[in-house]
Structure 1
């Protein structure tokens, strides 16, 4: 079962590692050319730290198929970062999108509450015509060590649709070197999802950092709503995506994993 009717449940040991929402809009050039001082003033109490970065844009090929194709270098895109004092919440603003991300997801209500003011102030200050895409992404990392499930096989914890070869009775989990599953599906007439699932190890980028040797299960759910979403319906669109995310997540886990995550 890919989608579950299991009621939404809050878990004491929820596996959400990072949660990100993003609103893409038609390009607003002034964001790239002028420091967003008014926007910073509006949200500085909750996001006091500021970082300005220049994101390199890949070059474009012009004149393809003609006698003189050319490579055109693109102007860098300014990416403004507004970060909370504890470094766990971040707003990103560019000429094409605004996003909220967190490394401390305790529940949907808190996440939506943290978004309310920045999104409202962005709409008030920049007046986007509409949103081209509303996105919500959950990066879930399930650790058997953390949940005291060291002796449990993934097939006891994860639904078969996300296990690939590991779901087969004649396959030993330790013999599978790679069993990633990638799914793209429609959720309704305007919403879709991309899901990546499979076992893996988390790697630290620093060469001197200690490496985690535990094999964890990664369930990366990227949901989106397309079309021209009016600003006054954007929050409702995000709520719709969250409802779909709940059905996907609950459909991906078994009762054994639910119990280990401690329903509240």
Structure 2
């Protein structure tokens, strides 16, 4: 069930592809106007690699002298601070700060890795509030990696996430596309967006195996004070655990090498 309480587990064969935490705030123009030298110096030990990119937002329609006109916004500088091993990345623009990782092990480790750069950001740039606090988990379940080739998804994923593939008389090999898309309000300004279904990673250029993708994006909308971010993220993580565990059958849970977290 989606909203049941689940004990936390760590998985020997984790399906996680990437975990991303993004905090959006009203534009701070000084971030784009000059290089974030003080911020880099404060986090350089953890994120020694640096590069930047100019990102051009999508054009938007506006009225000019009463007539509609397509306007191209000014490019935005995205500063990237990357760990020595390349598995952790911190992004900073005039509108958001984000931490992402390709090597997630447990929530406490991720939260600790976020704590210092976020504290330094707040100290240096003094955001009044955050407009959106988001936490996203991208999972890709590989039957080949789990030794489950030939096992139908209906034995591994709960029916609510499968659509017609949950029906016993449906041959999944004949399905070209079957996915679940959910936008859902939770309690206290929490939101959940979910994509679930078979898919290919990277356009199948490196890996042709069809995996089951479970992509959960959880967020707090409205204005969140800086000192309320940590508790908001803890709550989003709790929802992420419930979504993940609620999608698994006991067979898949066991096959991934579930180990209780204490």
Same fold, judged at TM 0.5 (above): yes
The answer as to whether partners of 1:157 and 1:253 remain within 8 angstroms in 2 is yes
Q: How does 1:195-234 map to 2 (within 5 A)?
A: 195-203=194-202, 211-234=206-229
TM-score normalised according to structure 2 size: 0.95
What residue number does 2:238 align with?
243
What residue number does 1:119 align with?
118
Q: Work out whether 1:18 is the aligned partner of 2:18.
A: yes
d(CA) in 1 for partners of 2:225 and 2:42? 22
| 1:105-132 CA distance string (max 9 Å, x none) | 1111111111010000000000000011
Q: Work out whether 1:78 is the aligned partner of 2:77.
A: yes
d(CA) in 1 for partners of 2:116 and 2:126? 15
Report the CA distance between 1:65 and its aligned residue.
Answer: 9.3
What residue number does 2:156 align with?
157
Q: 1:249 to 1:65 in 2, by over 3 A?
A: farther
Report the CA distance between 1:64 and its aligned residue.
Answer: 6.8
Q: Work out whether 1:193 is the aligned partner of 2:192.
A: yes
Q: Work out whether 1:102 is the aligned partner of 2:101.
A: yes
d(CA) in 2 for partners of 1:89 and 1:20? 10
d(CA) in 2 for partners of 1:59 and 1:201? 29
d(CA) in 1 for partners of 2:81 and 2:227? 24
The answer as to whether partners of 1:135 and 1:224 remain within 8 angstroms in 2 is yes
State the secondary structure of the residue aligned to 2:10.
coil
| 1:81-106 CA distance string (max 9 Å, x none) | 00001110000000000000001111
What residue number does 1:36 align with?
36
State the secondary structure of the residue aligned to 1:74.
coil
d(CA) in 1 for partners of 2:62 and 2:109? 46
| 1:135-162 CA distance string (max 9 Å, x none) | 0000001001111111311001101111
| 1:194-227 CA distance string (max 9 Å, x none) | 000100122358xxxx632211100000110011
TM-score normalised according to structure 1 size: 0.94
What residue number does 1:256 align with?
251
Report the CA distance between 1:174 and its aligned residue.
Answer: 1.1
State the secondary structure of the residue aligned to 2:258.
coil
Unaligned 5+ segments in structure 2 are none
The answer as to whether partners of 1:91 and 1:98 remain within 8 angstroms in 2 is yes
Report the CA distance between 1:43 and its aligned residue.
Answer: 0.2
| 1:68-93 CA distance string (max 9 Å, x none) | 33333321111000000111000000
The answer as to whether partners of 1:4 and 1:250 remain within 8 angstroms in 2 is no
Report the CA distance between 1:190 and its aligned residue.
Answer: 1.2
Report the CA distance between 1:189 and its aligned residue.
Answer: 2.2
d(CA) in 2 for partners of 1:148 and 1:13? 11
d(CA) in 1 for partners of 2:236 and 2:132? 12
The answer as to whether partners of 1:4 and 1:248 remain within 8 angstroms in 2 is no
Corresponding pairs, count: 259
Higher strand share: 2
State the secondary structure of the residue aligned to 2:219.
strand
